[in-house]
Structure 1
Amino acid sequence: MSNLASELIQDCSVISGCSALKLVLKPKDKDLGGFRVRRTLPTKECRSVGPWVFFDHMGPAHFEKDQGIDVRPHPHIGLATVTYLFEGEMLHRDSLGTKARVLPGDINLMVAGRGIVHSERQREEIKAGPQNIHGLQLWLALPTDLEQTEPGFFHYDKTEIPEVEPNGVPVRVMMGCAYGVTSPVKTLYETLYIEARLKAGQTLVLPEAEEKALYIVKGALALRETKLDEHSMAIFGDESGITVTAQRDTVLAVVGGAPVGKRYMEWNFIASDKSLIEQAKADWKAGRFAKVPGDEQAFIPLPE
């Protein structure tokens, strides 16, 4: 979703933790017209975790009849977006001609590469009555050799995502490898993304990754003497065998992987070279990006 560069870098609360922790971030809620978004990455203290450079938690939100999410067409370069819903439905359209419903449990991966335009709306059938929305939207920075790759869109049904139960804890391996299984979701760099659902008192050893972070969607965890509250993100060092214990029923996401190196971020654009961002800004302002079939008229102007 679209934001000014100054709004992307959040000023989050930072809590010191045990030796396994580098940071614990507590995002501030943002009201985006009827629903809340919690942006945890990027922050001034942590710009990325592995290739992940953006982490939004939207909702849970309730919409009355004729209300809903309505994000007009906007461009991206140099990144891949991952949209994942716990509840509700969204409609993705892009300049490749893709028209895809985003449903709970599915993985929707959009690779912007050298440039793509998309909109995020909801079908009129959905807005015809009351509805709820709850999900995550994440951005991955593309490795330098793939920043200018051809754009693409990849949809994975929830039945394709592998599920395992380490120590009796249901885990979905969304991207990358963990607990002896590998997700079919396309990766362009060393990437980790899992979801776990712990009952109160259950423990989970986190999967290995060069860099990793844990976000608590719902619930609370303990890491040795440190308590991790709902909606907090723990940034870990390279210590292995990190174990967390659920203080109550908890849903968590773990993201990580290998760092891709320094990236510049402005509005919806990410690049290793500022000139690529300047060119993208000029191209969007001049109308040189491709249109979104079926959503050609509306667009979000370049912030000035």
Structure 2
Amino acid sequence: MQSNVGLIIEEKAVSIGNFLVGRLLPFRQKRAVGPFLFIDHMGPACLEEHQNLDVPPHPHIGLSTLTYLFDGAIFHRDSMGNAIEIKPGEVNWMTAGKGVVHSERTPEYLRTKDKFLHGLQIWIGLPKELEQCEPAFSHFDKEEIPVWEENGVTYKLIAGELKDIKSPVPVHSRLYFVEIKTKSSQKVTIGDQLFGEVGMYVLNGSVKIDNTDYGSKQLLIAQNASLCAFETNGETTLYLFGGEPFDEERFMYWNFVNSDKTILEKAKENWENQNLEAFPKIPDDDKEFVPLPKPKFNN
């Protein structure tokens, strides 16, 4: 990003349920990029017939989740009654608001077969006035997501806005999450379309910025979004994400996000006590749940 790389974050391995993922955000030196608070890179993994993704019912408050798959399938269920399979190129968008419970599992028809799983799971903070809003859910087929090509570069606007193009995903603040693909070396100058803070995640291939090559499993944070320019080194897939940061600090405990720690404490208490008014059960997936972990605040 044209002498503009302020921070390089290496992907680090963590576990969710019985699945190993690469965690990109949050990081000690950088807690958020614009409204983006959390990014997990799932896979790529080949799961055998006895291996499945099983993340039992767990709660969220104060954020929206975005699930985007490159390969495989995940079945989403939530306490609002939604039950839907997400496949590659589709977008699941769930706004937790004051509280929601969901589970993520391998679909039934794949549970006794070999399968692949690869994708991104992202948390995006909510504006302060919406942190306690009613939960909501949207699903978008891949044909609904804007895709265009310019000068040998293919763009896909998964969420948010770039100039006069807008994704149908109902985001709650100014942001962008865009996929960029090239089949050969290309120069990309996109800074005039960006705003706020910007991060770059190179999924495969590599990019050259100020005569330095950066490869996959690295998250690059720009110092100035308006200077975002780079060159891809051949066949490359990368993601740019970011937007306007919030004025207030966001605190995070486990799956709970809020600008008010007292609300986090109440959410912890409600989940530990299985308060069904705050966190209803999921239809057809109500036999287990992920218990509240015990560590202190991350902030």
- TM-score normalized with structure 1 length: 0.91
- Report the Cα distance in structure 1 between the residues aligned to 2:18 and 2:55, rounded to whole angstroms: 13
- TM-score normalized with structure 2 length: 0.92
Q: Does 1:208 align with 2:198?
A: no
> What displacement does 1:66 show?
2.8
> What displacement does 1:176 show?
1.5
Give the corresponding residue for 1:37: 21
Q: Does 1:265 align with 2:252?
A: yes
Point out 4+ residue stretches in structure 1 off by more than 4 angstroms.
Answer: 31-35
Is residue 161–residue 174 contact of structure 2 (8 Å, CA) maintained in 1? no
Q: Secondary structure at 2:92's aligned position in 1?
A: strand
- Report the Cα distance in structure 1 between the residues aligned to 2:95 and 2:225, rounded to whole angstroms: 31
> What displacement does 1:241 show?
4.3
> What displacement does 1:217 show?
0.9
> What displacement does 1:180 show?
3.6
Give the corresponding residue for 1:191: 175
Q: Does 1:256 align with 2:242?
A: yes
Deviates more, 1:199-208 or 1:291-300: 199-208
Q: Which amino acid aligns with 1:160?
A: E
Is residue 106–residue 155 contact of structure 1 (8 Å, CA) maintained in 2? yes
Give the corresponding residue for 1:101: 85
- Report the Cα distance in structure 1 between the residues aligned to 2:17 and 2:136, rounded to whole angstroms: 30
Q: Secondary structure at 1:125's aligned position in 2?
A: helix
Is residue 221–residue 244 contact of structure 1 (8 Å, CA) maintained in 2? yes
- Report the Cα distance in structure 1 between the residues aligned to 2:90 and 2:32, rounded to whole angstroms: 24
Q: Does 1:287 align with 2:274?
A: yes
Aligned-residue Cα RMSD (Å) equals: 1.5
Q: Does 1:217 align with 2:207?
A: no
Give a deviation string over 1:72-114, Cα, whole Å, max 9, x none. 0000000000000000000000000000111100110000000
> What displacement does 1:36 show?
3.2
Give a deviation string over 1:202-260, Cα, whole Å, max 9, x none. 12223412111000111111012222111111101225242211123111111101002
Give the corresponding residue for 2:292: 302
> What displacement does 1:196 show?
1.0
Give the corresponding residue for 1:7: none
In structure 1, runs of 5+ residues without a counterpart are 1-16
Match of 1:276 among 253, 263, 266: 263
- Report the Cα distance in structure 1 between the residues aligned to 2:4 and 2:152, rounded to whole angstroms: 24
- Report the Cα distance in structure 2 between the residues aligned to 1:251 and 1:34, rounded to whole angstroms: 27
Match of 1:141 among 125, 128, 132: 125
Deviates more, 1:45-54 or 1:158-167: 158-167
- Report the Cα distance in structure 1 between the residues aligned to 2:58 and 2:8, rounded to whole angstroms: 32
Q: Does 1:158 align with 2:139?
A: no
> What displacement does 1:148 show?
0.3
> What displacement does 1:18 show?
6.0
Q: Secondary structure at 1:165's aligned position in 2?
A: strand
Deviates more, 1:19-28 or 1:288-297: 19-28
Q: Percent identity at matched positions?
A: 40
> What displacement does 1:172 show?
0.4
> What displacement does 1:128 show?
2.1
Is residue 83–residue 136 contact of structure 1 (8 Å, CA) maintained in 2? yes
- Report the Cα distance in structure 1 between the residues aligned to 2:237 and 2:3, rounded to whole angstroms: 24
Is residue 198–residue 225 contact of structure 2 (8 Å, CA) maintained in 1? no
Deviates more, 1:234-243 or 1:223-232: 234-243
Match of 1:229 among 196, 204, 215: 215
> What displacement does 1:33 show?
7.2
Compared CA separation, residues 18 and 162, structure 1 to 2 (3 A): closer
Match of 2:74 among 87, 90, 98: 90
Give the corresponding residue for 1:175: 159
In structure 2, runs of 5+ residues without a counterpart are 295-299
Q: For 1:111-130, what aligned pairs fall within 5 Å after superposition? A: 111-130=95-114
> What displacement does 1:178 show?
1.8
Q: Does 1:19 align with 2:19?
A: no
Is residue 167–residue 204 contact of structure 1 (8 Å, CA) maintained in 2? no
Compared CA separation, residues 69 and 272, structure 1 to 2 (3 A): same
- Report the Cα distance in structure 2 between the residues aligned to 1:180 and 1:147, rounded to whole angstroms: 28
- Report the Cα distance in structure 2 between the residues aligned to 1:48 and 1:159, rounded to whole angstroms: 30
Q: Secondary structure at 1:240's aligned position in 2?
A: helix
Aligned length: 288
Compared CA separation, residues 255 and 239, structure 1 to 2 (3 A): closer
> What displacement does 1:124 show?
2.0
